[in-house]
Amino acid sequence: MPELPEVETVRRGLNRLVKGATIASIEVRWPKIINNDVDSFKSRLIGQTIERVDRRGKYLLFRFSDGLTMISHLRMEGKYNVVPANEGQDKHTHVIFHLTDDRDLLYNDTRKFGRMTLVPTGEEVTVAGLKTIGPEPTENDLTVAYLTDIFSQSKKMIKPLLLDQSKIAGIGNIYADETLWMSKIHPMRPANSLTDDEIVVLRQSIIDEMARAIKGHGTTVHSFSTFGETGKFQNQLHVYGHEGEPCERCGSLIEKIKVAQRGTHFCPHEQQL
DNA sequence: CAGAACACCTGCCGGC
DNA sequence: TGCCGGCAGGTGTTCT
């Protein structure tokens, strides 16, 4: 469920469903998901109440009553579900938070890539990933001056740069392709070759696209739903998953290539090197 | 230090 | 049908 809009959708769902809930006990079936010592992770959380869930980039931050924060990253396939006690588990359920109100908060993850880390609130910044995370893709945080600065200092291709979480938080493979298409910029353009105008357009595309995707409850690729809410944003994608189909603006066929090991979709007519 | 390659996992799809 | 390679919305580590 991975990019920023999907994580934000999960965050809102969690706040709706488990804010104020208290942990009765915890089962960990795949210990590698927990970055802490598993016994200490469990014992410190038992009896704690979820005060709220925050987000930074693609990281969820569960704020607990006793000054603890559980950092949760879903990576490729992590999902949360809230179910009646002892229901809804399957072979991909790896962590179960039994709540005191006869419900369970389940963490499911087909590929087991997701990770959870428990830290004292305020020490999030010591965790790899959050240590170096860049600004949120919002009007206030992502300034033209900042982008101009980081782009001018890098010869790297623009697409892998957009995916670099230490430069901008929250962009993933889908929205990188979508925002480059909207900005008519080839994914392999060196970052320092972008003109001032292109930077302004790309910045606005990123900010607007993230906001639109959040409004649409994110993109659902494998027909999974989040707390009963299926993201609808996949209906608004222009290039991702549309290889071989005509570009909506010019009719040229969308191509799929590999850029820095990632599948990359673009319009060869409007996005030129 | 930047950048690339690889590691971590499972499921699904297409080709033979 | 079965096996095999390749691919998937991500990031942390290790090696140049």
Q: Please indicate, yes or no, if residue A272 is contained in any of the structural domains.
A: no
The distance (Å) linking the CA of A52 with the C1' of C11 is 25
Residue located via tokens 């930077």:
A199
Q: A52 burial class (0-12, 13-18, 19+ CB within 10 angstroms)?
A: middle
Residues A88 and A201 in one domain: no
Q: A14 burial class (0-12, 13-18, 19+ CB within 10 angstroms)?
A: buried
Assess contact for A168 and A199: CB atoms under 8 A.
Answer: no
Q: Which two tokens stand for residue A138?
A: 């919002």
Q: Give per-residue pLDDT as tens, A4-29.
A: 999 999 999 999 999 999 999 999 99
Q: Please indicate, yes or no, if residue A273 is contained in any of the structural domains.
A: no
Nucleotides on chain C that have an atom closer than 7 A to a protein CB are: 7-13
Q: Please indicate, yes or no, if residue A224 is contained in any of the structural domains.
A: yes
- CA of A111: nucleotide with nearest C1': B9
Q: Please indicate, yes or no, if residue A45 is contained in any of the structural domains.
A: yes
Round to whole Å and give the CA distance between A168 and A128: 16
Nucleotides on chain B that have an atom closer than 7 A to a protein CB are: 2-6, 8-11
Residues A70 and A155 in one domain: no
Pairing mode, if any, of strands A103-109 and A50-56? unpaired
The answer on whether A92 is annotated among ligand-binding residues is yes
Residue A217's CATH number = 1.10.8.50
Where does a domain end: A75, A91, A126?
A126
pLDDT above 90 as % of chain A: 89
The answer on whether A73 is annotated among ligand-binding residues is no
- CA of A234: nucleotide with nearest C1': C9
The distance (Å) linking the CA of A110 with the C1' of C1 is 26
Domains in chain A: how many in total? 2
Residue A42's CATH number = 3.20.190.10
Residues A81 and A185 in one domain: no
Q: Please indicate, yes or no, if residue A79 is contained in any of the structural domains.
A: yes
Residues A210 and A119 in one domain: no
Could you tell me the pLDDT band of residue A177, with boundaries at 50, 70 and 90? very high
Residues A62 and A165 in one domain: no
Distances A94 to A47, A107, A113 between C-alpha atoms, Å? 20, 6, 11
Could you tell me the pLDDT band of residue A2, with boundaries at 50, 70 and 90? confident
Q: What is the dihedral of CA A147, A149, A154, A160, to 10 degrees?
A: -20
Q: Could you give the residue numbers annotated as active site of A?
A: 2-3, 58, 262
Residues A119 and A165 in one domain: no
User: Residues by CB within 7 Å of nucleic chain C, which ones?
Assistant: A 1-3, 6, 57-58, 73, 75-76, 111, 113, 115, 128-129, 163, 165, 172-174, 218-222, 224, 231, 258, 262-263
Could you tell me the pLDDT band of residue A236, with boundaries at 50, 70 and 90? confident
Q: Please indicate, yes or no, if residue A138 is contained in any of the structural domains.
A: no
User: Residues by CB within 7 Å of nucleic chain B, which ones?
Assistant: A 32, 91-92, 110-113, 154-156, 160, 260-261
Assess whether pLDDT exceeds 70 at residue A160: yes
Could you tell me the pLDDT band of residue A104, with boundaries at 50, 70 and 90? very high
Assess whether pLDDT exceeds 60 at residue A1: no
Determine what percent of chain A falls in helix, strand and coil, rounding each to the nearest 5: 30, 25, 45
**Between A218 and A48, the higher pLDDT residue:** A48
Residues A113 and A201 in one domain: no
Round to whole Å and give the CA distance between A201 and A194: 11
What is the domain extent for residue A210?
Answer: 144-266
pLDDT above 70 as % of chain A: 96
Where does a domain end: A92, A126, A160?
A126
The distance (Å) linking the CA of A257 with the C1' of B11 is 23
Where does a domain end: A64, A91, A126?
A126
The distance (Å) linking the CA of A240 with the C1' of C10 is 17
Residues A105 and A167 in one domain: no
